[in-house]
Amino acid sequence: MSNQSNHTISGLLKTRNARFKGKSGDVELARERQQLTRMIEDNYPAFEPVRDLLLKRNPNWEKVEEDLCLHGSTLREEIRRHGMCSKHPDGGYHVDSHAKRYLGGGWLEELAWLAAMEAGADEAVFAQTIGWHAQGYHGQNEIDLIVRKGSRLGFTSCKAVGSEFNSDSRKHRNRLMDALHEADNLADHFGVDGDRVAILVTADLIDELKNQPRYMSLMGKAAVLDVRIIPLEELGWDKLVLAIGELLE
């Protein structure tokens, strides 16, 4: 294998007993709908009820639709303009499987990829399944975002969760802690010294009035594991580009 081919994400992973399986996310499609993706980024709390409406997560869909704010209504129409949903005569919505994946969290992976390219990555892929083998065992993981700068890699796990962090919700806390462990496992499986790992989550994890984390044990454990947490407070484009850019340093 040439030195040039070694300096690709695929080539670097092969030196670590791992390989691409199947296709990664569609970068051309991500570029085509980046305006919609950026609209969701800018208005994530307004997007949540729209997502729940279209994915039938709330049985009281008529009330949800009635209560959509201006940003939510605009997002719904933009989603419809992109052909991701159509309204039934009885009032419900039809959403195909590809649109469900995008609305359910695929948009966040595409956003992370767009930010990585803006931050100056030499190469980046998203929604990529990686096969691996080690000590007689084998398996596979889907990695939400892999970025490369030179011969170093960065791995990001993207989690579209509720924007309002509920410290009393064990389910919410566990999902975030599981995301942290998942990201740390990526480093164990595929990383080497110098590689960086992050999780991008859509929860508000910073109490800006008190200037402290809302979930102290999560942030503390992330610091120990050297996993960068990118919360809702850094979802704005400029801040996100800077945060993803840290994986390339």
Residue ranges and CATH numbers for the domains of the chain are 3-25+108-248 (3.40.1350.10), 29-100 (no CATH)
103-130 residue pLDDT tens? 999 999 999 999 999 999 999 999 999 9
145-175 residue pLDDT tens? 999 999 999 999 999 999 999 888 999 899 9
- Mean pLDDT (the chain, rounded): 92
Separation between Cα atoms, residue 161 and residue 104, nearest integer Å: 10
Least confident of 62-66, 121-125, 155-159, 200-204: 62-66
Separation between Cα atoms, residue 54 and residue 95, nearest integer Å: 7
Separation between Cα atoms, residue 160 and residue 201, nearest integer Å: 6
Whole-number pLDDT of residue 1: 43
DSSP assignment letter at 94: E
206-225 average pLDDT score: 92
Separation between Cα atoms, residue 82 and residue 168, nearest integer Å: 38
> What's the Cα-to-Cα distance from 193 to each of 31, 44, 75, 169, rounded to whole Å?
32, 35, 42, 36
7-52 residue pLDDT tens? 899 999 999 989 999 999 999 999 999 999 999 999 999 999 999 9
Per-position b or e across 46-58, b if 16+ CB within 10 A of its CB: bbbbbbebbeeee
Segments of the chain assigned E as strands: 18-21, 86-87, 93-94, 123-134, 137-149, 152-159, 196-201, 206-207, 212-213, 227-230
CB within 8 Å of 86: residues ≥ 6 apart: 80, 93, 94
Residues in the chain, total: 249
Range 14-19, long-range pairs (CB < 8 A, 24+ positions): 16/132, 16/190, 16/192, 17/132, 17/133, 17/134, 18/130, 18/131, 18/132, 18/189, 18/190, 19/130, 19/131, 19/132
Separation between Cα atoms, residue 149 and residue 52, nearest integer Å: 37
Separation between Cα atoms, residue 30 and residue 134, nearest integer Å: 33
215-238 average pLDDT score: 95
Q: Is the pLDDT of residue 4 over 70?
A: no
